[in-house]
Amino acid sequence: MVVVVTRLVKECVEMADAWNKESACMQQVVPDGVGEEVRWNRRRWLSSAAGLSALSLCCGCRSTPFTGRPQLRFIPKSMEMSLGEQSYAEVLAESTVSQNTAWTDAVVRTGQRISQVANAPDFKWDFRLLASPKQNAFCLPGGKVAIYEGIIPYCENEAGLAVVMSHEIAHALAHHGAERMSQQAGVKGVGAVLGWAMSETTPATRELSMKAFGTGVQYGVLLPYSRHHESEADAIGLQLMAKAGYDPSEAPLFWGRFGQAKSGTDTPPEWASTHPSDDRRASDLAAKLPDALALYQSTGSRYGKGEKLT
């Protein structure tokens, strides 16, 4: 998830920089406060920006699978998939595949079971266990899944592994990477319009306003949205693991174990973090558990907690 968001954001920043350079050129060509023509040009520019924003909103409005949440996403699926492929190739080129055959088999087996209920026929699935003490995992757009060895001890069993894999796969199914990229592009666009609109104010006022805008966006839009993505991935992931035949009651247990292991470390407070706290996560999942258990009971093949991994 982090890999693809970083790549997507980089592309977006390049687009926004090009736009900012163009705005700076416009400011030089049309000096401030020199008559009606200048004001008309500014009004026309702002109207065009507003029109383009409205068009992006119309073209980019989608809904997430499983939850049906309205989602602003105007990045083409083909671009998302190809960035996923490239990022995966780069990660694999820099990584070593695990030699632990029992764990590797569990990753492939669990991943295949989840992929069969993911309703993503255009995904080209691949599941790898990487030799690294990192306690992490990701699924890139298009279904490229990597698990780092360091997280396996917290999983304890295949159902725990299914919690991790389902959560990461849910991010890809819900196109969270493309949504973040669309948000970043929108924020940069509004910032550019704000900068232009304030070009007649003093540099000090302009700087203060832009700083306030940046802080407001970071804490009011981007970070909460990021936490929302995490909670949504937990909710979708719980359904996926239940449908794949793994006992969903393992999900709050896994996050409880993971949270305990992290206690005492320098975890940022939840309101300023991109992730919900593990305690919050465990309690949210526990609330969703009755529905997930009903889904699990209605599934044809049930594996319970699956094989033990530790």
Cβ within 8 Å of residue 288, ≥6 positions away: 235, 238
User: Cα-Cα-Cα-Cα dihedral of 159, 164, 165, 167, to 10°?
Assistant: 120
Query: Shortest approach of Zn ion to residue 167 CB, angstroms?
Result: 6
Query: Shortest approach of Zn ion to residue 151 CB, angstroms?
Result: 12
Candidates 108-116, 136-144, 179-187, 224-232; binding stretch for Zn ion (CB under 5 A): 224-232
Alpha-carbon span 113 to 108, nearest angstrom: 9
Query: Shortest approach of Zn ion to residue 83 CB, angstroms?
Result: 18
Whichever of 233 and 253 has its CB closer to Zn ion, that residue is: 233
Angstrom CA distances, 234 to 37, 62, 67, 153, 239, stand at 54, 20, 11, 20, 9
Candidates 13-21, 42-50, 127-135, 231-239; binding stretch for Zn ion (CB under 5 A): 231-239
Run of H or E including 184: helix 176-197
Whichever of 159 and 235 has its CB closer to Zn ion, that residue is: 235
Alpha-carbon span 91 to 173, nearest angstrom: 20
168 in catalytic set: yes
Cβ within 8 Å of residue 195, ≥6 positions away: 20, 23, 206, 210
Number of residues in contact with Zn ion under rule CB under 5 A:
2
What are the beta bridge partners of residue 128? 146
Candidates 144-152, 213-221, 225-233, 284-292; binding stretch for Zn ion (CB under 5 A): 225-233
Identify the active-site residue in 80, 158, 168, 179.
168
Whichever of 16 and 107 has its CB closer to Zn ion, that residue is: 107
Whichever of 233 and 244 has its CB closer to Zn ion, that residue is: 233
Query: Shortest approach of Zn ion to residue 168 CB, angstroms?
Result: 7
Candidates 127-135, 195-203, 229-237, 265-273; binding stretch for Zn ion (CB under 5 A): 229-237
Query: Shortest approach of Zn ion to residue 257 CB, angstroms?
Result: 17
CA angle 266, 270, 276 (to 5 degrees): 105
Whichever of 201 and 267 has its CB closer to Zn ion, that residue is: 267
240 CB neighbour count, 10 Å cutoff:
29
Binding mask 233-272 for Zn ion (x = CB under 5 A): x---------------------------------------
Alpha-carbon span 134 to 147, nearest angstrom: 9
Residues that bind Zn ion (CB under 5 A): 230, 233
Catalytic positions, written as ranges: 168
